[in-house]
Amino acid sequence: MLDIKLIREQPEAVERALAQKGGAELIKQILEVDGERRRLIKETEDLKALRNRASEAIGLAKRKGEDASAEMAKMREVADRVKALDGELKTVDERADELLVQVPNIPHPSVPPGKSDADNVEVRKWGAPRRLDFTPKPHEDVGEALGLLDPERGVKLAKSRFTVMWAGAARLARALAQFMLDLHTREHGYTEIWIPNLVSGATMLRAGQLPKFEEGLFKTIDADEGRTLYLIPTAEVSLSALHSGETLSEASLPLRYTAFSPCYRREAGTYGKDMKGIYRQHQFEKVELVKLATPAQSYDELESMVANAETVLQRLNLPYRVVERCIGDLGFSGAKGYDIEVWRPHMEKYTEISSCSNYDAFGGRRADIRYRPAGGGRPEFVATLNGSGLAVGRTLIAVLENYQQADGTVMVPEALRPYAGGLERLTAHR
RNA sequence: GGAGAGGUGGCCGAGUCGGCCGAAGGCAGCCGCCUGCUAAGCGGUUAUACGGUCAAAAGCCGUAUCCAGGGUUCGAAUCCCUGCCUCUCCGCCA
């Protein structure tokens, strides 16, 4: 959510900043509704002030035993008027909010222009794609041939986009998660947090998932209470809403949190896309990174967050590149962001495995998280950042594809072996 | 699932028959004084949001906030209703 004051005071600047991202056309409407809102506030509050003074006088008069019925009758009318105005104001407030939450974040000046991911800018590359002396297969072929990935059983148990993982694949997934958490907590200074995977609508709202993205979420009904809880599509939801409503001290920032969680996504509107393998599933696991920082710190924190995610791939010796997202690919809340893309041998190209974003104060304002500046003064909104560090399923894909051998087996990356009980090679299951 | 208790400022806690309650008192915090040091003592001070005023900030004025939403009333922390949350005991349970 943008600051209404910024829109009010510099509407042209905001419109210009949003020209490429969209939402500029909302600004004029917002100004109109905001003006109406302020007129109503003035009117109601003046009336309330009148009422408060009169009520005090009435109380005083009554205590003296004087008759105040004339004044009371007058105030009855004022009270009715106040009630009517309060109703109007509520409507206008809702309208103003409704418009304001539709305005996307303003991109940081350093963000490259562009319309789609095709315009993203490569920042750096790491690792050389290894040369294989055979034709590399996609992970689903590698995994299914070994009996480790089992889409048929996933569909039988649930529906499409669910895949059962057997033996070595299941073990490797668990090892990956453990490895990533240890790395981030021991070497990168993140605090590991266990969070609810089912959250209320209010939490989804604060995390920016509702009302816009409801069609992407799985809902559950608590039968006894008839209440809706949502399955989280990412631990970011719980982590970024963790401190909502709180005022933190500047000294405590930046806060660096990590959480391992399952993620549930309906993937509505992606029919037919990525149907093979486990690239796009309804349920997957992810180690998430979230930071709360001052806006001034946040751009450095974004760089270090990307570096933290990159370290995972470096330790696994998986070639990747980092691209900076252009304005059109930033997403609704992003002020600046990077994607990390991992090498896919059979495709001979890089595909996304992590996405790190700085939402700046836009995220803090929506989640209602402030900090009190060290030098004193009014609380300010924190900047929120998030990134995947990394998605377990997609990392497993990268391992299966990059470590596949001519005989169909898959070597286990050295860094993972201690976490996989010394397992060195994935071989056929049964 | 059964029975009961309760939600007040950073924390503890008082609020009488509804008015003078943004809310006593204490603690913690901040500023100053005092004091060989420490401890104690003395005085002052300490919420947030929104609106108005102002070139802007400060300040000032106003409105709202005693879990949330409704209601009664000229007026509600205080009365009524609904919801949410917390706690205690019993039962069940990984």
Amino acid at A182: D
Judge whether A93 lies within some domain. yes
User: Which burial class, exposed, middle or buried, applies to A250 when counting CB atoms under 10 A from its CB (0-12, 13-18, 19+)?
Assistant: middle
Question: What span, in angstroms and rounded, lies between the C-alpha atoms of A409 and A400?
Answer: 9
Judge whether A50 lies within some domain. yes
A403: which residues sit within 8 A by CB, 6+ positions away? Answer: A410, A411, A412, A413
Residue A192 CA and nucleotide B31 C1' are separated, in Å, by 40
Whether A29 and A77 share a structural domain: yes
First-to-last C-alpha distance (Å) of chain A: 54
Give the mean model confidence (pLDDT) for residues A229-252.
88
Q: What pLDDT does A64 receive?
A: 82
Taking every pair of C-alpha atoms in chain A, what is the biggest distance, in angstroms?
A: 104
> Per mean pLDDT, which range of A178-187, A283-292, A373-382 is the poorest?
A373-382
Domain boundary among A100, A131, A155: A100
- Given a cut of 60, whether residue A202 has pLDDT beyond it is yes
Whether A290 and A403 share a structural domain: yes
Whether A139 and A87 share a structural domain: no
Number of domains in chain A: 2
Give the mean model confidence (pLDDT) for residues A237-264.
90
A84: which residues sit within 8 A by CB, 6+ positions away? Answer: none
Residue A269 CA and nucleotide B36 C1' are separated, in Å, by 79
Give the mean model confidence (pLDDT) for residues A394-406.
95
Question: What span, in angstroms and rounded, lies between the C-alpha atoms of A57 and A374?
Answer: 45
Q: Which nucleotide is nearest to A5 (CA to C1')?
A: B50
pTM: 0.90
Question: What span, in angstroms and rounded, lies between the C-alpha atoms of A175 and A171?
Answer: 6
Express each pLDDT in A112-164 by its tens digit.
Answer: 999 889 999 999 999 998 888 899 999 999 999 999 999 999 999 988 899 99
Provide the token pair at A120. Answer: 């993203």
* Residues A73 and A3 sit within 8 Å (Cβ to Cβ): no
Q: Which nucleotide is nearest to A71 (CA to C1')?
A: B74
Judge whether A112 lies within some domain. no
Whether A132 and A69 share a structural domain: no
Whether A176 and A228 share a structural domain: yes
Residue A360 CA and nucleotide B30 C1' are separated, in Å, by 31
Whether A161 and A191 share a structural domain: yes
Judge whether A389 lies within some domain. yes
Which is more confident, A160 or A317? Answer: A317
Q: What is the mean pLDDT of chain A?
A: 91
Express each pLDDT in A35-86 by its tens digit.
Answer: 999 999 999 999 999 999 999 899 888 888 888 888 899 999 999 999 999 9
Nearest-CA neighbor of A211 among A90, A100, A336, A334? A100
Express each pLDDT in A132-145 by its tens digit.
Answer: 889 999 999 999 99
Q: What pLDDT does A423 receive?
A: 94
Whether A144 and A88 share a structural domain: no
Nearest-CA neighbor of A155 among A265, A53, A278? A278
Q: Which nucleotide is nearest to A200 (CA to C1')?
A: B84
Residue A111 CA and nucleotide B46 C1' are separated, in Å, by 43
Judge whether A111 lies within some domain. no
Per-residue pLDDT band at A226 (split at 50, 70, 90): low
Residue A363 CA and nucleotide B46 C1' are separated, in Å, by 30
Name the residues of A annotated as catalytic. 265, 280, 352, 355, 394
Q: What pLDDT does A153 receive?
A: 93
Judge whether A107 lies within some domain. no
- Given a cut of 90, whether residue A167 has pLDDT beyond it is yes
Domain that holds residue A55: 4-100
Domain boundary among A74, A100, A126: A100
A268: which residues sit within 8 A by CB, 6+ positions away? Answer: A215, A216
User: Which burial class, exposed, middle or buried, applies to A95 when counting CB atoms under 10 A from its CB (0-12, 13-18, 19+)?
Assistant: middle
Whether A94 and A129 share a structural domain: no
Provide the token pair at A218. Answer: 């799985």
The CATH number of residue A173's host domain is 3.30.930.10
Nearest-CA neighbor of A391 among A324, A333, A339? A339
Nucleotides of B under 7 A from a protein CB: 1, 19-20, 48-52, 58, 62-64, 70-71, 73-75, 84
Q: What pLDDT does A225 receive?
A: 60
Q: Which nucleotide is nearest to A376 (CA to C1')?
A: B30
Residue A223 CA and nucleotide B1 C1' are separated, in Å, by 15
Q: What pLDDT does A224 receive?
A: 56
Whether A397 and A306 share a structural domain: yes
Strand partners, A292: A255, A384
Per-residue pLDDT band at A223 (split at 50, 70, 90): low
Judge whether A368 lies within some domain. yes
Give the mean model confidence (pLDDT) for residues A181-187.
97
Residue whose tokens read 């991911």:
A117
The CATH number of residue A51's host domain is 1.10.287.40
Show which residues sit with Cβ under 7 A of nucleic chain B: A 4, 38, 41-42, 44-46, 48-49, 51-56, 58-59, 62-63, 72, 75-76, 78-79, 83, 90, 224-225, 227, 370, 378-379
Whether A283 and A157 share a structural domain: yes
Residue whose tokens read 């996989």:
A420
The angle formed by the CA atoms of residues A79, A85 and A86, to the nearest 5 degrees, is 90
Give the mean model confidence (pLDDT) for residues A292-319.
96
Domain boundary among A71, A100, A129: A100
Q: What pLDDT does A131 receive?
A: 81
Q: What pLDDT does A400 receive?
A: 95
Q: Which nucleotide is nearest to A379 (CA to C1')?
A: B48
Whether A213 and A82 share a structural domain: no
Residue A227 CA and nucleotide B91 C1' are separated, in Å, by 25
Whether A298 and A166 share a structural domain: yes
Nearest-CA neighbor of A192 among A258, A236, A247? A258
Three-state SS string over chain A comes to CCCHHHHHHCHHHHHHHCCCCCCCCHHHHHHHHHHHHHHHHHHHHHHHHHHHHHHHHHHHHHHCCCCCHHHHHHHHHHHHHHHHHHHHHHHHHHHHHHHHCCCCCCCCCCCCCCCCHHHCEEEEEECCCCCCCCCCCCHHHHHHHCCCEEHHHHHHHCCCCCCEECHHHHHHHHHHHHHHHHHHHHCCCCEECCCCCEEEHHHHHHCCCCCCCHHHCCEEEECCCCEEEEECCCCHHHHHHCCCCCEEEHHHCCEEEEEEEEEECCCCCCCCCCCCCCCCCCEEEEEEEEEEECHHHHHHHHHHHHHHHHHHHHHCCCCEEEEECCHHHCCCCCCEEEEEEEEECCCCEEEEEEEEEEEHHHHHHHHCCEEECCCCCCCEECEEEEEEEEEHHHHHHHHHHHCECCCCCEECCHHHHHHHCCCCEECCCC
Judge whether A314 lies within some domain. yes
Per-residue pLDDT band at A404 (split at 50, 70, 90): very high
- Given a cut of 80, whether residue A272 has pLDDT beyond it is no
